[in-house]
Amino acid sequence: MREETDYTEAIETYKDDSNVIIEPWGRSIDHLRLTIIGKEGTAYYKGKFIFEIKFPENYPFAPPYAYAVTLMWHPNIDSSIPPGKLNICLDLINPDLVGKVDASTGASGWTPSKTLTNIIEALKGMMHVELFTLCNNA
């Protein structure tokens, strides 16, 4: 199963990263709890942010469902959207963008060559944007 391979790869990748915790949500690795801890120098410093990740039956041909469980303000997360629907604006996990590339930005949707680690890196990048970068873009 591809889910097992991706889960094992992610566990190995983040085993020494104290800002990322990956664990099964229940008894199965096809439903995960991802915790990202805000790092120093970011607006989310010391915060714990929980994301739910579920692999679909047709994985890796469709992206995993990812949902920001922790209520927060983030320009790419809509905390008012209830569980079961997407509340993270990220091309990588948008089921409508599978196999597509935005010609103007180069952003690409999900493809079977992408992995759980790609999703974790994208979410981690969203949470670890440095304050200096945020202030200069405002």
Give catalytic residues, as residue numbers.
89
Burial class (CB in 10 A: 0-12, 13-18, 19+), 121: middle
Q: What is the DSSP letter of 97?
A: G
136's CB contacts (< 8 A; 6+ apart) are none
Phi, psi at 26, each rounded to 5°: -135, -120
